[in-house]
Chain A
Amino acid sequence: MISVLAIGLVVVTSLVIGVYGVRAARSTSDFLVASRRVSPTWNAMAIAGEYLSAASVLGLAGLVLKNGLGTMWYAVGFAAGYVAVVALVAGPMRRSGAFTVPDFAEYRLGAPRLRKLCGCVVLVIMLLYLVPQFKGAGVVLALVSGTPYWVGVLLAGLVVSGSIAAGGMRSATYVQAFHYVVKLVFLAVPAIYLVVHSSPHTRSEALTPERGTHFPEATPVEFTVGTRFSLDEPVTVTVPDGGEVELAAGEHIADAGTEYVFPEGATIPRPEGLPELGGERWSTPLLDVGGYPLFETWSALLAITLGCMGLPHVIMRFHTSPTARTARRVAVGVIALLGMFYLFPAVYGLLGRVLTPHLVLLQGTDTVAVVLPEQAVPGTVGAVLAALVAAGAFGAFLSTSSGLLLALAGGLSHDLFQGSVPRLRLAVAVGACVAVLLALPAQMTDINVLVVWAFTVAASTFSPLLVLGIWWRRLTLPGAASGLVVGTVTATGAVGWSMLLPTAGGWTSVLLAQPAAWTIPLAFATMMLVSRLTRPPDWAEHAVLRLHSP
């Protein structure tokens, strides 16, 4: 109940800020204040607020718990992406005056058709990014209010599209900056409290994981989905009607709806395909899902770092800076703010392994940050802390998905069709509907897997377009178009294949699940090769010059 209240409070506050929080001036001298640009600090906070999505607030902690320490590389990538943005695109993008990537494509290559193509790619990326946000909001809402998952997703869709329709993004800068504070505080306070108040034993166990984690107390585990798991030693569990069932060592299949109570001290069963919690593979600081840790780590890092610059809603934020210098300062500020934030998902992940390891069994690791406080600190304090985290997570969902939905709607109404305001509103509604529909079957998919998919597509399409468009005069229209098509098809197709169809395992499945390492070079190569074969437009020299002259 407290959680629902806290979430409601976050929603209402951000709506109020969004509608009325624009700087108001009542005398003529205030005009000057109103016409002055926003400071880099506010801007950096706004960018960080929009960027920190459910993937960072919920997904990361869940992945640390489930797949091990190596998943912290995602956080490294999310922050490092801004280094690439500062170094390669922030300044020139601002000088071009372009607001979105399709704008930039039109500025640089001057073709309305390319604009349409870019609009399509924006749609793909934004949908891939929106679905996990809705999934995150759905699980959080379902968890705190006890409703089924689909109600949560539907509610999330209504809240976000309703708040946009009510004008909640009119003053996007202040809303997003507010959301950054919400996320940081609401995640940091419970995390610090948990660290301080957990027993020394828990702390040491969190930092020096032992092989094979045990249930800290007798724990009821209700399987909401059918799960295949294996046991290293036999264990006797209690079933709801009071009887006892002896589970032998080896493979077991629990059907959806099964409920077992594991006794205190029993070894946590290991779901199929996952590393042993606290085991060697779990503790190795490399991403290891398919068996080729070094390649997977590099590929994911490349996807996230380069994908950041290609995300449509990230790039448009640098337009607000008055000079290229401030644009870069803003980006550096963002890196600091992100770095500060990413300390906390790690805390939840590490403590979660000790205190709530059964989430792995339930395939519900995305909820660890919300479940953990109540497990660790029973009573009112725990409920309040859980409410804070839930509200922070919902804030993350609200800020990111509002930004994404607006970018998606903008792409729909502005790039693909000739835009008008009713169309923009319609596009917001359509985008929200599609995202909700796609999020409904995604309950069991990890938030971060979907987010990294979106980053991979962005890295294989817009990042070559921006990098080559800014730094290479010879880029041509056919080159850019073919690179975009190749990047979209390969990146979307590879990850989609690995998620929806069974793969043989080994190298093929790793290459499909983490395709960035080959799709990005492929997209770059296609753009350069086709550009070499065709003639650049006459104004290329001039357009590139303007991007770089101060």
Chain B
Amino acid sequence: MRQVHSLGIDLQDGLHGRKVPSAARRLRRLLAVDGVVLADLDGPVAVDGRQPDPQESEGLLAQVFEYGSNARARLADGTSVCAVPLTVDDELAGALVASGDPVEADVEAAAALVSDCLDHAALRRARARIAAADLRTLRAQISPHFMHNALAVIAALVRTDPDRARHLLSDFADYLRYGFSEKGDYATLSEELEATQTYLELQRARFHDRLDITVRMAPEVLPVAIPFLVVQPIVENAIRHGLERKEGRGHISVSGFGEGPLCVIEIEDDGVGMHPDLARSLLAGTGPESRSVGLANVDQRLRAVYGPEYGLVIETALGEGTKVTVRVPRFTRGVVAQ
């Protein structure tokens, strides 16, 4: 059983992984034959033990690939060679060749095992691709909201305060460059703060300056790499759902500090707050349609990047304001700001 399990590990990068030779050796031991050849559609990729005559094995492989069925041949020294196709997702992907009087049924079983391993490898690669694509989709989802609001604000100001409108428009251009940059998936906290500043500038225009802002940042967390657009959507949420409905002035504070190996970012507003159940459903992605984008999205991305224990923490109650806490490790392998 251990051999079979190790075979799966050896083949986890597919037929072109680093450990394929070791997989061939395991197969030869499992089958108790003289030699084993693992081949993809272009020819042998790994050989262990006795190597059959190249011409002979090429002919055998051609036969397997042409008919997609087992092939057997008798060598000059009287022993026999058996070749069985490997299939991934019902498509021919290679062949397993065993030499030295193998039992055909055994080779077939081994080939089925290898096929399964290759299948798993392909699935694993696909899963990683999907996760990456998910991240990009989530990132793209955020922008339209904000773009619409920003343009509406600027449009409203164009006549009454053209100077400010021009200023905001250039801020907005900076923001877009940040949001749409193709450099990578991560930015430093200080870059993220600058983008948030642009956003708040636009929102203040909309609120006719009845918005107070406090920022407290411990300088040592500024260079920490975080996923793009983590702080801004939370701030956006605080304004849209906390402060917009509140009478009078609103206050929002953003603070960041280090806590040992963690970097903590807190976004707090004194708006209308929400029912804790609503907050829970928002994070679960089951909240009302109109509010489901921002927080759940950030939460999912944080979990995807750092692991399930690093999701958002929301503290809130009706009429009591909202505090959202982001905790991320200061260093995670693969998370580097470009």
Identity of the chain B residue whose Cβ is nearest the Cβ of A94 in the assembled complex: B223
A68–B143 alpha-carbon span in the complex (Å): 68
With most chain B CB atoms within 10 A of its CB, the pick from A35, A409, A410 is: A35
CB-CB contacts below 8 Å: B291-338 with A: 309, 327, 329-331, 333, 335-337
Identity of the chain B residue whose Cβ is nearest the Cβ of A176 in the assembled complex: B220
A28-B201, A28-B204, A420-B309 in contact; A22/B262 too (CB < 8 A)? no
What is the minimal beta-carbon distance from B255 to any residue of chain A, in angstroms? 7
Contact across chains for A35 and B218 when beta carbons are under 8 A apart: no
What is the minimal beta-carbon distance from B204 to any residue of chain A, in angstroms? 6
Does A30 make an interface contact (CB < 8 A)? yes
Contact across chains for A424 and B262 when beta carbons are under 8 A apart: yes
Which of B49-57, B60-68, B91-99, B190-198 makes up part of the contact surface?
B190-198
Contact mask for chain B residues 225-265; partner A; CB cutoff 8 A; 1 contact, 0 none = 10000000000000000000000000000010111111000
Of the candidates B220, B257, B327, the one whose C-beta lies within 8 Å of that of A320 is: B220
Total interface residues in chain A, CB < 8 Å: 49
Identity of the chain A residue whose Cβ is nearest the Cβ of B225 in the assembled complex: A97
Which residues of A sit under 8 angstroms from B218, Cβ to Cβ?
22, 170-173
Which residues of B sit under 8 angstroms from A201, Cβ to Cβ?
none
Which residues of B sit under 8 angstroms from A320, Cβ to Cβ?
219-220, 222-223
What is the minimal beta-carbon distance from A91 to any residue of chain B, in angstroms? 14
CB-CB contacts below 8 Å: B210-226 with A: 212-220, 222-223, 225
Identity of the chain A residue whose Cβ is nearest the Cβ of B263 in the assembled complex: A99
Does B200 make an interface contact (CB < 8 A)? yes
Contact across chains for B330 and A99 when beta carbons are under 8 A apart: yes
A23-B219, A418-B309 in contact; A31/B261 too (CB < 8 A)? no
CB-CB contacts below 8 Å: A241-284 with B: none
Contact across chains for A35 and B260 when beta carbons are under 8 A apart: no
Does B275 make an interface contact (CB < 8 A)? no
Contact across chains for A410 and B261 when beta carbons are under 8 A apart: yes
A22-B257, A171-B257 in contact; A414/B309 too (CB < 8 A)? no
What is the minimal beta-carbon distance from B105 to any residue of chain A, in angstroms? 37
Which residues of A sit under 8 angstroms from B196, Cβ to Cβ?
31
Cβ-Cβ contact count across A and B, 8 Å cutoff: 126
Contact mask for chain A residues 516-532; partner B; CB cutoff 8 A; 1 contact, 0 none = 00000000000000000
Contact across chains for A424 and B260 when beta carbons are under 8 A apart: yes
Does A218 make an interface contact (CB < 8 A)? no
Does A100 make an interface contact (CB < 8 A)? yes
Identity of the chain A residue whose Cβ is nearest the Cβ of B307 in the assembled complex: A418
What is the minimal beta-carbon distance from A418 to any residue of chain B, in angstroms? 7
A30–B212 alpha-carbon span in the complex (Å): 12
Which residues of A sit under 8 angstroms from B129, Cβ to Cβ?
none
What is the minimal beta-carbon distance from B168 to any residue of chain A, in angstroms? 11
What is the minimal beta-carbon distance from B62 to any residue of chain A, in angstroms? 33
Of the candidates B189, B193, B255, B261, the one whose C-beta lies within 8 Å of that of A99 is: B261
A460–B163 alpha-carbon span in the complex (Å): 63
Does B145 make an interface contact (CB < 8 A)? no
Does B124 make an interface contact (CB < 8 A)? no
Which residues of A sit under 8 angstroms from B18, Cβ to Cβ?
538
Contact across chains for A100 and B331 when beta carbons are under 8 A apart: yes
Contact across chains for B336 and A34 when beta carbons are under 8 A apart: no
Contact across chains for A27 and B197 when beta carbons are under 8 A apart: no
Identity of the chain A residue whose Cβ is nearest the Cβ of B194 in the assembled complex: A35
Contact across chains for A98 and B331 when beta carbons are under 8 A apart: yes
Contact across chains for B193 and A34 when beta carbons are under 8 A apart: yes
Which residues of A sit under 8 angstroms from B191, Cβ to Cβ?
35
Which residues of B sit under 8 angstroms from A294, Cβ to Cβ?
none
Of the candidates B197, B222, B257, the one whose C-beta lies within 8 Å of that of A170 is: B257
Contact across chains for B261 and A414 when beta carbons are under 8 A apart: yes
CB-CB contacts below 8 Å: B149-198 with A: 189-191, 193-194, 196-197
A31-B200, A410-B261 in contact; A97/B219 too (CB < 8 A)? no
A99–B333 alpha-carbon span in the complex (Å): 11
A22–B213 alpha-carbon span in the complex (Å): 15
What is the minimal beta-carbon distance from A18 to any residue of chain B, in angstroms? 9
Which residues of A sit under 8 angstroms from B337, Cβ to Cβ?
97
CB-CB contacts below 8 Å: A156-178 with B: 167, 169-173
Which residues of B sit under 8 angstroms from A34, Cβ to Cβ?
193, 215-217
Does A36 make an interface contact (CB < 8 A)? yes
A470–B220 alpha-carbon span in the complex (Å): 23
What is the minimal beta-carbon distance from A302 to any residue of chain B, in angstroms? 29
Contact mask for chain A residues 353-391; partner B; CB cutoff 8 A; 1 contact, 0 none = 000000000000000000000000000000000000000
Which residues of A sit under 8 angstroms from B261, Cβ to Cβ?
99-100, 410, 413-414, 419, 424
A26–B257 alpha-carbon span in the complex (Å): 17
Does A38 make an interface contact (CB < 8 A)? yes
A23-B216, A24-B214 in contact; A35/B190 too (CB < 8 A)? yes
A183–B231 alpha-carbon span in the complex (Å): 38
Contact across chains for B219 and A30 when beta carbons are under 8 A apart: no
Contact across chains for B217 and A35 when beta carbons are under 8 A apart: yes
Which residues of B sit under 8 angstroms from A99, Cβ to Cβ?
261, 330-331
Which of A103-111, A133-141, A230-238, A480-488 makes up part of the contact surface?
A103-111
Contact across chains for A173 and B309 when beta carbons are under 8 A apart: no
What is the minimal beta-carbon distance from A165 to any residue of chain B, in angstroms? 11
A414-B261, A420-B309 in contact; A35/B193 too (CB < 8 A)? yes
A413–B260 alpha-carbon span in the complex (Å): 9
Contact across chains for B331 and A97 when beta carbons are under 8 A apart: yes
CB-CB contacts below 8 Å: A1-50 with B: 22-28, 30-32, 34-38, 42
Which residues of B sit under 8 angstroms from A538, Cβ to Cβ?
18
Which residues of A sit under 8 angstroms from B200, Cβ to Cβ?
28, 31
Contact across chains for B219 and A37 when beta carbons are under 8 A apart: yes
Contact across chains for A410 and B260 when beta carbons are under 8 A apart: yes
Contact across chains for A106 and B333 when beta carbons are under 8 A apart: yes
A38–B189 alpha-carbon span in the complex (Å): 14
CB-CB contacts below 8 Å: A44-93 with B: none
Contact across chains for B213 and A26 when beta carbons are under 8 A apart: yes
What is the minimal beta-carbon distance from B110 to any residue of chain A, in angstroms? 28
Chain A residues in the interface with B (C-beta under 8 A) = 22-28, 30-32, 34-38, 42, 97-100, 103, 106-107, 110, 167, 169-173, 317, 319-322, 406-407, 409-410, 413-414, 418-421, 424, 427-428, 538
| Contacts A320-B220, A410-B261 known; 7 new A-B pairs at CB < 8 A | A22-B216, A23-B219, A26-B212, A35-B190, A35-B217, A99-B330, A172-B220
A selection of 29 A-B contacts at a CB cut-off of 8 Å is: A22-B217, A22-B218, A23-B216, A25-B213, A25-B214, A26-B212, A31-B194, A31-B197, A31-B215, A32-B197, A34-B193, A35-B194, A37-B222, A42-B219, A97-B335, A98-B331, A99-B261, A99-B330, A103-B330, A103-B331, A107-B333, A170-B259, A171-B219, A171-B257, A173-B220, A317-B220, A319-B330, A419-B329, A424-B261
